[in-house]
Structure 1
């Protein structure tokens, strides 16, 4: 058994077998999916480069790539475009998010309908735009009135989306009440024991809230979503909300394991109440406006992120953007702006460098080409790892164990 196989199996040990099998199958489908599902491999195999070691410390998404940006509704009820996944959030060199993002442009070039030369040009543009954003020193945000290109189109298209549309897509009416639409694909039935433990956790959380009746649990299903998180314990919960049948809310409850970067980052980390609290704290620091509903919940000794499923949450379609002249360039530029703003916004907090240090780093020129070279080398490693993984997968190394096997 190769070291690569052992590392992947060790990282995913303990995950739910049926969904872990889905994850492994997804990883076989292409190097971009493999990149998204193996954050733990990526940072442990970074090339030696001063820019990856000596960049100022910053709060990082930890798993930045093309599909970890999207729209969300803030607690001021306005819709924004920003980095939107912080499960791996951690304190790390400021260059780590950027190098992974540029690697995703190279590995994901097929999704962008781009060749390697074009992907490298996009990566170079991302680095320059991000560095210039840091040097400028002003944290900005992206909402509909100031967005352009495909991001503006996305945010404009979301204006008409309503909660009832989301409810209708995820629930069915049973007589006069709503129940979750279990389809054995995205939603799987929950056992009696699972329903009891989730209900108990929600009730314990609700007891500390001003309106506990808002969180009265109506239905629960196991949720299949994400890529790297497949195999973790995850549920969709239908709650009373503001009334039946059309003002109920949907909540996503997802297990939060330690960050995949925990053993890779050279920086000392703060002590957190639990892993969900870590991810939520990083998200609140880096996003322009906090998400409307975001809490940590403990259940059977493990921590979970509890968040509202929103009718407006979405990503830019890369396939559609690739059909429009200049759209991909506009999208990548916006993504670079979001990263610079997120790092400036979270500067000077529990070990992260202050804004002056980030501005000084961004203004330097010499490291920019070095970062692009490191991203290309890391992308090559991902592609080689995917080829080795694919061979091992085809040879049965990741086949589910039969009952009774050790």
Structure 2
């Protein structure tokens, strides 16, 4: 290689590696205040492959994209309620409030108000990275991204023209195909006791408690349990009256800490809480709830400050609950929030009916296209839904109309621009991934 070119490339890599390191130190170190042990756990997951690195570094994505002079953004005065971390693995099958098995988005920790385009761009990159893991060619990746974008626009138009209602639209066995349909059908065969059987044990008196012999469960101290019990009334009060049962229904029977989690959630506190339930069948209708720590969402560090939003969402657990209710048609009736030791938590049911897509179902290209199409429709649904929900939304205009106005008549140009950019950024992520691994060794997180 030419000496001058080598110097240029090495300088670019040095600057980029320093940028990556600075962002990781700022967010994981100073803002998240992760211990060295937790940072190692997180980076161990992130160094598995480029897609895992992408999932664990959403802050780097926003740093790179926030000031790009891209067209097709909605105006600042017409933001969309976004997930803030939309990617391929944040979709799954689960049971809704009406005991129906549906397929939808499932992670709302980074929910915020901003341009829809950030969700769409992040999702497009994730499709490429995920498809690359399954050895799909660049041409196939191009087609998958275009299928996602085209479906997204078509679904928004369907909402805007009144052909479908984003508040009522659900994705069930009847209107899905391929891997999504297969995931839903497998869930329908599960027993109501699936999660209880998996996480708990019965003693000789038939009293149920968590099985702390499980690898990812650990006991809590008496003081911690007492503090959680004292904070529990705040959780119960946070549940809307229409969903709230009598206090005895939420009586805590056992508590454990949940170890291990998604990549971006590493280091956040999480509890499994066993509650009484309806008391109709002795210890058979107990319910497992999950309480997860919530922090300020990543987009908030990059988007303009919105006073109205923050006044309504001072509690970060409430913000996560707010986001889920905005995006889901029939939300979990156990959604609520509380504060413990100065940290904000949100609560949801640890449902026995929850299942991610399996890689083996997506190795067939036709199946992958079917799945991407469903994800495109769901992405449009969550963006169009929030403004229609008077309990959860704070927007006084139709998001789908604002997004379609931003795209205008240039649908092909929109798809082309996002596709080309996502192809470019996939290369950036894969190169950053190699720099990240070098940085880990240089900082002595791991040996070479």
> TM > 0.5 between the two?
yes
Structure 1 residues 189 and 21: alpha-carbon distance in aligned structure 2, compared to 1, 3 A threshold? farther
- Describe the SS at the equivalent of 2:134: coil
Within the alignment, does 1:369 sit opposite 2:416 as a pair? Answer: yes
Whether the 8 Å CA contact 1:255–1:302 is kept in 2: the answer is yes
1:221 offset after TM fit, Å?
Answer: 1.4
Q: Which moved more, 1:116-125 or 1:255-264?
A: 116-125
Match of 2:268 in 1: 232
For the residues of structure 1 that align with 2:290 and 2:283, how far apart are their CA atoms?
19
Q: Who is 1:219 aligned against?
A: 254
Residue 189 (structure 2) aligned to one of 135, 143, 160: 160
Q: Which SS does the other structure have where 2:176 is aligned?
A: coil
- 1:257 matched to 2:304? The reply is no
How large is the RMSD of aligned CA atoms in angstroms?
2.4
Q: What's the offset of the Cα at 1:182?
A: 2.1
Deviation at 1:94, TM superposition (A): 1.2
**Greater shift after overlay, 296-305 or 177-186?**
177-186
> What's 2:117 paired with?
95
SS in 2 for 1:86: coil
Measure, in 2, the Cα distance between the counterparts of 1:65 and 1:36. Answer: 8
15, 19, 23: which is aligned to 1:7?
A: 23
Please identify the structure whose Cα radius of gyration is greater: 2
**Counterpart in 2 of 1:403?**
none
SS of corresponding position for 2:88: coil
Residue 142 of structure 2, aligned match among 116, 120, 123: 120
TM-score, normalisation: structure 1: 0.91
1:193 Cα deviation (Å)? 3.0
Deviations 1:169-188 (A, max 9, x none): 11122222222122463222
Choose which of 219, 233, 236 in structure 2 pairs with 1:189: 219
Runs of 4+ off more than 6 Å: none
Q: Which of 44, 58, 69 is the aligned partner of 2:80? A: 58
Shift of 1:16: 5.0
- Deviation string 1:148-186 (CA, Å, 9 cap, x unpaired) is 211111111111212312101111222222221224632
Whole-angstrom distance in 1 between the partners of 2:285 and 2:221 = 26
1:380 CA drift (Å)? 2.4
Q: C-alpha separation between the residues in 1 aligned to 2:58 and 2:317?
A: 18
Give distance in 2, aligned partners of 1:7 and 1:119: 29
Equivalent of residue 59 in structure 2, options 35, 40, 47: 40
CA distance in 2, matches of 1:242, 1:210: 9
Deviations 1:59-93 (A, max 9, x none): 11110111001122222222211111111011111
Q: Partners of 1:215 and 1:183 in 2: how far apart?
A: 25
Find the aligned partners of 1:110 and 1:202 in 2 and give their Cα distance.
Answer: 45
Out of 352, 357, 373, the position equivalent to 1:316 is: 357
* Residues 255-312 of structure 1: per-residue CA shift (max 9 Å, x gap): 0000011122247361213111112112111123222321121222221110110011
SS in 2 for 1:331: helix
Given that residues 73 and 310 in structure 1 are in contact (C-alpha distance below 8 angstroms), is that contact kept between their aligned partners in structure 2?
yes
Question: Is there any run of 5+ residues in structure 2 with no aligned partner, and where?
Answer: 1-16, 239-243
2:338 is matched with which residue? 297
Contact kept? 1:111, 1:319, Cα under 8 Å: no
Instruction: Determine the C-alpha separation between the residues in 1 that align with 2:395 and 2:283.
Output: 47
> Normalized per residue, which structure has more helix?
2
Tell me if the contact between 1:203 and 1:216 (Cα under 8 Å) persists in the aligned partners. Answer: no
State the distance in 2 between where 1:241 and 1:88 align.
30
- What residue number does 2:370 align with? 330
Indicate if the aligned counterparts of 2:235 and 2:336 stay in contact, CA closer than 8 A: no
The answer as to whether partners of 1:135 and 1:363 remain within 8 angstroms in 2 is no
Other-structure match for 2:91 = 69
1:246 aligns with 2:280: no
1:177 is matched with which residue? 207
Answer yes or no: is the 8 Å Cα contact 2:94–2:187 preserved in 1.
Answer: no
Match of 1:344 among 355, 369, 384: 384
Please say if residues 199 and 214 of structure 2, whose CA atoms lie closer than 8 Å, have aligned partners that are also in contact. no
Cα pair distance change 1:68/1:362, threshold 3 Å: same
- Which residue of the partner structure matches residue 356 of structure 1? 401
TM-score by length of 2: 0.83
Range that drifts further, 181-190 or 282-291: 181-190
8 Å Cα contact 1:254/1:304 also seen in 2: yes
Asked if residue 132 in structure 1 is aligned to residue 154 in structure 2, the reply is: yes
Segment drifting more, 364-373 vs 309-318: 364-373
**Aligned counterparts of 1:263 and 1:92: Cα–Cα separation in 2:** 12
